[in-house]
Amino acid sequence: MADKISLGYTHLSGCTGCTVALADNYAGLLTLLDKYVDLKYMPTLADARHVQKVDVSFVEGSVCINDKLAVEELKETREKSTIVVALGGCACYGNITRFSRGGQQNQPGHEAFLPIGDLIKVDVYIPGCAPTPQMIRNVAVMAYLLLKGTKEQKDLATAFLKPLMTMAQGCEACSCDIMTTVINQGLCMGCGTCAASCPVNAITMEYGKPQLERDLCIKCGACVAQCPRSWFSFDVVENYEAINEAIMAALQ
Ligand code: SF4
Ligand code: SF4
């Protein structure tokens, strides 16, 4: 293996569930830190007070446009990172912060929480509230292989990351899509992420299932993009075993 990639972690407004999900990798997190990642900046884990120049930055949480420091930190993260990853529902779509007026950094003056893609260019979205520990780990490994791996590993990493990169370019969908592609297919697991991500409360959870209020839908596509059962890539499915083997081999 070549040398490590440098990683930053910018923490904006949210519930900190994505940090907890990252930590829930337990020994896998230690392997990542030991072999692949040089953690340069992360308020809870790395002893650095300012955003650092890195290969990959994870951003957790949405950004409050009334909070000048948060806006500057986000812009500086973009300037100093080769790849920016929006980690979790709040960074990708505003999620809970959009209708609850803030989570972790809740202050009376904080009124407008935006997904980070509204202010900066984002390269990769990791959906979910919170994303699974395995998903975060797999993206970190694949980012490493994309930047430092052999040609074959780069190809696998590209196949794995492509749907997440496509998601970062925007999604045009409406509540009907989640009904036809997930719920009516029997794929819904009742996680509630779609309801949490909808900016106009067009989705509520009743008896563990999403109920749609179609008249309210503004066709923003957040629920579809955020649903862990909605995104599907033939590239990933066709290369599933090789991708899985590459990740497992990296974590040995
Ligand atoms: S507005 Fe419509 S498309 Fe957007 S999250 Fe809500 S239900 Fe989904
Ligand atoms: S996000 Fe997807 S799986 Fe979760 S409740 Fe909504 S439709 Fe079901």
70 and 64 in contact (C-beta within 8 Å)? yes
Cα 80 to averaged position of ligand 2 atoms, centre (Å) = 35
> Band of the pLDDT at 98, cuts 50, 70, 90?
low
182 inside domain: yes
Mean pLDDT score across all residues of the chain: 86
Same domain, yes or no, for 97 and 202? no
Which whole number is the average pLDDT over 151-167? Answer: 91
Which whole number is the average pLDDT over 176-188? Answer: 88
Query: 8-31, pLDDT tens digit by residue?
Result: 999 998 889 999 999 999 988 999
Q: What is the pLDDT of residue 2?
A: 52
Q: How many other CB atoms sit within 10 Å of the CB of residue 72?
A: 11
Same domain, yes or no, for 79 and 149? yes
CATH classification of the domain holding 34:
3.40.50.700
Q: What is the pLDDT of residue 101?
A: 45
Q: Is 96 in the pocket of ligand 1 (CB under 6 A)?
A: no
Q: Among 54-68, 69-83, 144-158, 195-209, which is the least confidently predicted range?
A: 195-209
Closest by Cα among 129, 208, 116 to 168: 116
At 249, give phi and psi (nearest 5°). -65, -40
Nearest CA residue ID for atom 7, ligand 1: 175
Same domain, yes or no, for 116 and 199? no
Domain span at 118: 5-170+237-250
Nearest atom in ligand 1 to 213's CA: 7
Same domain, yes or no, for 94 and 214? no
Q: What is the pLDDT of residue 232?
A: 65
231 inside domain: no
Residue 234 has pLDDT above 80, yes or no: no
Closest by Cα among 156, 147, 62 to 110: 62
23 inside domain: yes
Q: What is the pLDDT of residue 104?
A: 41
232 inside domain: no
Q: What is the pLDDT of residue 193?
A: 84
- C-alpha distances in angstroms, 126 versus 88, 114, 120, 218? 6, 16, 16, 23
**What gap in Å lies between CA 106 and CA 102, rounded to an integer?**
5
Same domain, yes or no, for 137 and 196? no
Same domain, yes or no, for 165 and 179? no
Which whole number is the average pLDDT over 187-199? Answer: 85
Residue 66 has pLDDT above 90, yes or no: no
Q: What is the 3-state secondary structure (H, E, C) of the chain?
A: CCCCEEEEEEECECCCHHHHHHHCCCHHHHHHHHHHEEEEECCCCCCCCCCCCEEEEEEECEEECCCHHHHHHHHHHHHHEEEEEEECHHHHHCHHHHHHCCCCCCCCCCCCEECHHHCCCCCEEECCCCCCHHHHHHHHHHHHHHHHCCHHHHHHHHHHHHHHHHHHCCCCCCHHHHHHHHHCCCCCCCCCHHHHHCCCCCEEEECCEEEECHHHCCCCCHHHHHCCCCCCCHHHHHCHHHHHHHHHHHCC
Same domain, yes or no, for 115 and 184? no
Same domain, yes or no, for 76 and 95? yes
Residue 196 has pLDDT above 90, yes or no: no
Which whole number is the average pLDDT over 134-154? Answer: 92
Same domain, yes or no, for 128 and 215? no
Same domain, yes or no, for 53 and 146? yes
CATH classification of the domain holding 189:
3.30.70.20
Same domain, yes or no, for 150 and 30? yes
Nearest CA residue ID for atom 6, ligand 1: 198
246 inside domain: yes
Q: Among 35-49, 61-75, 164-178, which is the least confidently predicted range?
A: 164-178
Q: What is the pLDDT of residue 116?
A: 95
Q: Is 217 in the pocket of ligand 1 (CB under 6 A)?
A: yes
Q: What is the pLDDT of residue 103?
A: 38
> Band of the pLDDT at 39, cuts 50, 70, 90?
very high
> Band of the pLDDT at 99, cuts 50, 70, 90?
low
Same domain, yes or no, for 53 and 98? yes
Task: State the total domains in the chain.
Answer: 2
26 inside domain: yes
Q: Is 202 in the pocket of ligand 1 (CB under 6 A)?
A: yes
